[in-house]
Amino acid sequence: MYYKNIDSGKIYTESEFSNLGKTIIEKYRIDSLVDLKINRSLKKRYSKNDSIIQPFGLDVRVGENYIISTSNKDKIYDLIGQNLPEFELKTINDKFISKTDILDKPCLINFWFTQCQPCIEEIPELNRLKEKYSDRVNFIAITFNDKTELNNFLKQTKFDFIQIINAQEYIDEVGIRAFPKNVFIDKIGKIRLIENGLSGNFEQFEKYLNNLL
């Protein structure tokens, strides 16, 4: 298993990938891990020869200041302040949902997939957000996984968002290359804010949602 930085092309072993935080602290002379916010956003893994390659993007923030960012690699950031592209997509329950169905409230759309470890790690906190704001905010999860893959995942892990499947074409259309991606939509369908993983920033995500209400 190897990890490939989608910006630099550098390849990491599992051990090197696990120790990225310490490596970054030493390189940039940061005081401690407490001061550091690291988001590793993953793309779909692939096989090469006898190895599995996991591409990833890296955003590193100290306070509000980014010292490393691959966010500009995702075209969706160009859509901030613009209307969310139209869609009509299929849910895991074989129903169709369109953009007009979510315009009655603000919306948090989580783009993810079932083999993305950072995606999985933030699910409990996403569920907490859903529980707290379910009557005031629409919560949607969009993945390229198919129904069987997602059903198998949900048997083990609870994820309370509306689940949209087989959405690779739409994911490509909005320009998402790295996961997870959390997109905040206002009541009229405009993209207001984009974050990668929640990564312990539960209170910050609450603030974002409160600003949209």
Mind listing the pLDDT tens digit for each residue in 43-70? 788 898 899 999 888 877 666 556 676 6
92 — pLDDT class (breaks 50, 70, 90): very high
Are residues 50 and 139 located together in one domain of the fold? no
Are residues 130 and 159 located together in one domain of the fold? yes
Q: What is the DSSP letter of 84?
A: P
Are residues 51 and 89 located together in one domain of the fold? no
pLDDT above 90 covers a percentage of the chain that reads 55
Give the C-alpha separation, 103 to 137, whole Å. 10
Residue 116 tokens, joined: 């993305």
103 — pLDDT class (breaks 50, 70, 90): confident
Phi and psi at residue 191, to the nearest 5°:
-75, 120
Are residues 19 and 101 located together in one domain of the fold? no
Q: Structural domain tally of the chain?
A: 2
Are residues 55 and 108 located together in one domain of the fold? no
Are residues 96 and 8 located together in one domain of the fold? no
Are residues 163 and 121 located together in one domain of the fold? yes
Q: Quick check: 129 pLDDT over 90?
A: yes
Q: What is the mean pLDDT of residues 138-160?
A: 96
Are residues 157 and 207 located together in one domain of the fold? yes
Q: Quick check: 199 pLDDT over 90?
A: no
**pTM, entire model:** 0.72
Residue 142 tokens, joined: 């969009």
Q: Quick check: 198 pLDDT over 70?
A: yes
Are residues 92 and 197 located together in one domain of the fold? yes
